[in-house]
Amino acid sequence: MFPVKDNLHKVLSSLPEGVRLVAISKYHPAEFITAAYEEGQRVFGESHEQELRQKHEELPKDIEWHFIGHLQTNKVKYIVPYITMIEAVDSIKLLREIQKQAAKADRTVKVLLELHIAEEATKYGLTLDDCRQLLAEGEWREMKNVQICGLMMMASNTDDEQQIASEFQQAASFFDEVKAEFFADDDNFCERSWGMSDDYQIAVRNHSTMVRIGTMIFGPRVY
Ligand X SMILES: *Cc1c(COP(=O)(O)O)cnc(C)c1O
Q: Which residues bind ligand X (CB under 6 A)?
A: 24, 26, 47, 68-69, 154, 196-198, 212-215
Q: Based on CB atoms, which residue is closest to ligand X, 22 or 80?
A: 22
Give the CA distances from residue 148 to residues 92, 155, 182, 198, in Å, rounded to whole numbers and listed in that order: 12, 21, 11, 27
Of 101, 43, 42, 41, nearest to 71 (Cα)? 101
Q: Based on CB atoms, which residue is closest to ligand X, 54 or 133?
A: 54
Q: Based on CB atoms, which residue is closest to ligand X, 39 or 186?
A: 39
Q: Which helix (H) or strand (E) holds 135?
A: helix 128-137
Minimum gap (Å) between residue 158 Cβ and ligand X: 14
Q: Based on CB atoms, which residue is closest to ligand X, 171 or 213?
A: 213
Of 200, 185, 212, 156, nearest to 25 (Cα)? 212
Minimum gap (Å) between residue 180 Cβ and ligand X: 27
Minimum gap (Å) between residue 207 Cβ and ligand X: 17
Minimum gap (Å) between residue 63 Cβ and ligand X: 17
Give the CA distances from residue 17 to residues 22, 128, 152, 175, 204, in Å, rounded to whole numbers and listed in that order: 15, 28, 19, 20, 10
14 touches 203 (CB < 8 A): no
Q: What is the 3-state secondary structure (H, E, C) of 3-66?
A: CHHHHHHHHHHCCCCCCEEEEECCCCCHHHHHHHHHCCCCEEEECCHHHHHHHHHHCCCCCEEE
Q: Based on CB atoms, which residue is closest to ligand X, 47 or 99?
A: 47
Which residue's C-beta sits nearest to ligand X? 214
Minimum gap (Å) between residue 42 Cβ and ligand X: 18
Minimum gap (Å) between residue 62 Cβ and ligand X: 22
Q: Based on CB atoms, which residue is closest to ligand X, 110 or 212?
A: 212
What is the rounded CA–CA span in Å between residue 107 and residue 42?
A: 20
